[in-house]
Amino acid sequence: GLNFIDLMVRQGNIDNPPKTPLVPGFECSGIVEALGDTVKGFEIGDRVMAFVNYNAWAEVVCTPVEFVYKIPDDMNFSEAAAFPMNFVTAYMMLFEVANLREGMSVLVHSAGGGVGQAVAQLCSTIPNVTVFGTASSFKHEAIKNSVTHLFDRNADYVQEVKRISTDGVDIVLDCLCGENTGKGLSLLKPLGTYILYGSSNMVTGETKSFFSFAKSWWQVEKVNPIKLYEENKVIAGFSLLNLLFKQNRGGLIKRVMDKLLNLYNSKKIKPVVDSLWALEEVKEAMQRIHDRGNIGKLILDVEKAPTPLMANDSTETSEAGEEEEDHEGDNENKERMPFIQ
pLDDT of residue 328: 42
CB 341 within 8 Å of CB 275 = yes
CB 69 within 8 Å of CB 84 = yes
Q: Which parts of the chain have pLDDT scores under 70?
A: 178, 199-222, 309-341
Task: Provide the pairing of β-strand 47-51 with 105-108.
Answer: unpaired
Measured CA to CA, the distance from residue 246 to residue 51 in angstroms comes to 13
pLDDT of residue 11: 79
> What are the residues facing 164 on neighbouring strands?
none
pLDDT of residue 146: 92
pLDDT of residue 189: 96
- Domains assigned to the chain: 4-209+218-300 (3.40.50.720)
Alpha helix segments (H runs only) across the chain: 4-11, 77-81, 84-91, 114-123, 140-143, 157-164, 180-187, 210-218, 225-231, 240-245, 250-265, 282-290
* Residue 35: DSSP 8-state: -
pLDDT of residue 9: 85
Summarised one tens digit per residue, pLDDT across range 84-137 is 999 999 999 999 999 999 999 999 998 998 999 999 999 999 999 999 999 988
Q: Which residues neighbour 277 within 8 Å (Cβ) at sequence distance 6 or greater? A: 2, 284, 285, 298, 299, 300, 301, 304, 336, 338
User: Helix 114-123 crosses helix 84-91 at what angle (to 10 degrees)?
Assistant: 50
